[in-house]
Structure 1
């Protein structure tokens, strides 16, 4: 919170020191737009280049969102940025905060962005999730419908084990293991092994605890 208190008093000075990380938007100079729920516009345009028009609409959505709740709140979101067609795609975690004038009216939006690649190895996992967020949202219920035993079978399949090997490992018949495999295929709507591996990677199914009944 101390960082934001400093930013409220010296936003423009800080922005000059860190031009790539902090941006200050003068709300009086940005055309007011009809705002909808803040996440709606963001989710729709999260993969697009961060144009001036997108920024202006997003800024006012965040302003309305913060004012609807509490103005001292910070609004955080992930965003994909690409400076030009030849540059590398960069995912950032951005946090937005309102500054108010002496009359208590919002007059600035301060946005601080953090390059996720600065997290090192941890950023690889985040990038995979962010690049596949639509897949995760669309298939979350499918994964939730899996039983503990089915998740266990998935983990063993992903490790390269055959049905007889799995049956021997978890003390089930080969027929029962194959039944579980059919149920997994039907629930996840997968057609091949690579489809299964995508679920394993994005939903961390390879970390399922082994159980024995």
Structure 2
């Protein structure tokens, strides 16, 4: 029996075009389009599809992560495909840990999208070539580099922000959660990077993992 697909994305012109292309492929029995969270929530409650494509156009990463967690908790059989915006490898790992079955970047082609669908039909997982190459490089760097040692200990506030960075929160999210300005968050971020001697949030997460600050 052919599965059903729901596309959660915008703009409508793009989603309708993709729906017609996929309709010609004959892979799915029906293809529904949702372009607001309320419509998606209602559909998942009343008649959940077998396949669900979610674009990062619709949600910031923290909300996307929570949505995946909620969807997979309630509907374990749904195969979720994420169309990301060149997400960090750590973030991609988090999404797979929460139950997504496929990750594609925005530069992935239609043919690669079809390849991912075919993999999911075989109960396999799929990660696009672009993200796969970055993941291999990331793992290689992890193996080559020794543990990070810091000269100055992190303050309690810096440690709090470090944990939020590892959870995928943006500076805006952190400022709202801790009731501090974005400028203050950015100042803390710079100090954390300096103390850990890393260049970006990936280095921060590596430090946290290696020192068992997060699992």
**TM-score of the superposition, structure 1-length normalised?**
0.31
**TM-score of the superposition, structure 2-length normalised?**
0.31
State which structure, 1 or 2, has the greater radius of gyration over its C-alpha atoms.
Answer: 1
